[in-house]
């Protein structure tokens, strides 16, 4: 009897490819069902042999743990830059920018009042 090993719904292509490769390297007999034309069917990886379930689950658990670590590291490397991070990295540069903006605003307002508007 076939056993569901891993659902592929919502899984990135690179992760699905890695799991297929991992199962193939370990000589675990599996097959894949696609989502179908309308995406109604269940895309998944299924085991043909029930005896390989424990081995396959332990391999997947180790892979998922390692992937979580690497993906978290990639996310932390590419964190979006916030204003506070940018200001703390270059406080002198941003101080010059703010001073220049203040000077432009001051000159604009002073010119408005001198012209009597």
4-23 pLDDT tens trace: 999 999 999 999 999 999 99
**CB neighbourhood size of 78 (10 A):** 8
Structural domains counted in the chain:
2
| Helices vs strands, H then E, count in the chain | 4, 3
- Regarding whether 50 and 92 lie in a shared domain, the answer is no
Pair (16, 60) in one structural domain: yes
Q: In this predicted structure, what is the pLDDT of residue 113?
A: 87
Q: Are residues 71 and 102 in the same domain?
A: no
Q: What are the Cα distances from residue 58, in Å, to 5, 22, 26, 73?
A: 11, 12, 12, 23
Query: For residue 71, is pLDDT > 80?
Result: yes
Q: 10 Å Cβ neighbour count for 86?
A: 12
Whole-number percent of the chain with pLDDT over 90: 79
45 with 21, same domain: the answer is yes
Element (H, E) at 61: helix 53-77
Answer yes or no: do 70 and 101 share one domain. Answer: no
Could you tell me if 39 and 63 lie in one domain?
A: yes
Q: Which long-range contacts (CB under 8 A, 24 or more apart) does 36-44 make?
A: 42/7, 42/9, 43/7, 43/8, 43/9, 44/4, 44/5, 44/6, 44/7, 44/8, 44/9
| % of the chain residues with pLDDT over 70 | 99
What's the distance, CA 12 to chain centroid? 10
Q: In terms of domains, do 24 and 65 share one?
A: yes
Q: What is the pLDDT of residue 104?
A: 97
11 and 34 part of one domain: yes
pLDDT tens digits, one per residue of 36-55: 999 899 999 999 999 999 99
Position 117 pLDDT exceeds 70: no
The answer on 64 and 40 residing in a single domain is yes
Q: Are residues 63 and 42 part of one domain?
A: yes
SS3 (DSSP) at 31 = strand
Domain span holding position 43: 3-77
């Amino acid at each position: 009897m076939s056993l569901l090993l891993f659902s592929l719904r919502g899984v990135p292509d690179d992760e699905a490819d890695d799991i297929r490769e991992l199962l193939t390297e370990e000589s675990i007999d599996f097959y894949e069902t696609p989502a179908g034309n309308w995406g109604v069917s269940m895309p998944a990886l299924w085991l043909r042999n029930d005896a390989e379930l424990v081995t396959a689950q332990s391999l997947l658990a180790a892979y998922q743990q390692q992937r979580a670590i690497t993906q978290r590291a990639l996310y932390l490397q590419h964190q979006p830059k916030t204003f506070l991070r940018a200001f703390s990295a270059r406080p002198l540069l941003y101080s010059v920018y703010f001073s220049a903006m203040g000077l432009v605003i001051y000159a604009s307002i002073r010119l408005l009042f001198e012209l009597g508007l």
